[in-house]
Structure 1
């Protein structure tokens, strides 16, 4: 198995070396807006502890991540008037993983609206800021 690279983009975000639109943070996790969103409100939940894939994670970090996933998903469903939520988690390149720090995608979905393709194109900063504000507001109201 390939080892964890401490210079991956999420490790840099966690160290404050790269900016992000953070919407939620606790002792073990952080939730940020995906800079290449496949749906409006597309967020990522990331464990603070280093792990390359789900298979490398400590059980207590798995529990913390999925508690945050549920919190963010509930808020995203409200904030974006979503009909449903898609939750995705990929492991290793063959499994679709692109950034090799464990992370979970939370995508608000509208019935009949397909996910946008992953083009590698970043969303405008203003769009991400607006989506982050909506999600933070819904998280604050949820308590």
Structure 2
């Protein structure tokens, strides 16, 4: 006879297995939920699939701590790394596999308004997260980007660093990635404003991705 505890574990593993199957599907056959770069070469598309190999356990979510991103609430299950001053979360509309955001916990609109401690912690967090995701996604480089203010493309009034693991050929022209980030930033705000519209990626898919990354820091 299977114990209640074991049965629950099996259900959880099955749920995450199905989640990974859907995630692979989206990555290999692009849908509005995972937009490939407009400049990406078709021959490189197969390399965009993320190596989701581990079993994800949503029970490992970041406790009951609450997170905000500007005026929006972020579900703890979408946060995979946290310090006293910063946190890292998966992206609702990732531009590339491993495209995540690192934010200060305190709601701060502009980079200049961060304290010295917050600035240091934010970049140390970004460094640590970037290093792990570059290795995890078998990338060879990283893009770190901040849009500091509306004219710089910032749409959510909360300082955040975009981190994107990079591979050869992911963009035909490297600088095009910044245009793509601007576009995704606007789409992110529009989707957050319409929180009920989660057609791009479901909360379950985002939680499973966060679980995959959370293991890297355990």
Fold shared, TM-score > 0.5 on shorter chain: yes
- Taking the aligned partners of 1:97 and 1:11, their CA distance within structure 2 comes to 11
1:133 to 207, 211, 215: 211
Structure with the bigger RCO (C-alpha within 8 Å, sep 6+) is 1
Quick check: 1:52–1:100 contact (8 Å CA) kept in 2? yes
Instruction: Output one character per residue of 1:75-111: Cα deviation in whole Å (capped at 9) or x when no partner.
Output: 1111111121111111111111111111111111121
- Residues 47, 87 of structure 1: CA spacing in aligned structure 2 closer, same or farther, 3 A cutoff? same
> Which 5+ residue runs of structure 2 have no aligned equivalent?
1-67, 172-176, 192-199
Which residue does the alignment assign to 1:56? 113
Quick check: 2:101–2:162 contact (8 Å CA) kept in 1? yes
Q: As a proportion of its length, which structure holds more helix?
A: 2
SS at match of 1:38: coil
Q: Report the TM-score when normalising by structure 2.
A: 0.53
- Taking the aligned partners of 1:66 and 1:93, their CA distance within structure 2 comes to 21
Instruction: Output one character per residue of 1:46-70: Cα deviation in whole Å (capped at 9) or x when no partner.
Output: 1112210111111111001001001
Q: Report the TM-score when normalising by structure 1.
A: 0.78
Higher Cα Rg, which structure: 2
Residue 10 (str. 1) matches residue 88 (str. 2): no
> What's the RMSD between the two structures over aligned residues?
2.1
Instruction: Output one character per residue of 1:19-55: Cα deviation in whole Å (capped at 9) or x when no partner.
Output: 2511101111111011111111111111112210111
Instruction: Output one character per residue of 1:118-140: Cα deviation in whole Å (capped at 9) or x when no partner.
Output: 27273344442343233222223
- Residues 100, 27 of structure 1: CA spacing in aligned structure 2 closer, same or farther, 3 A cutoff? same
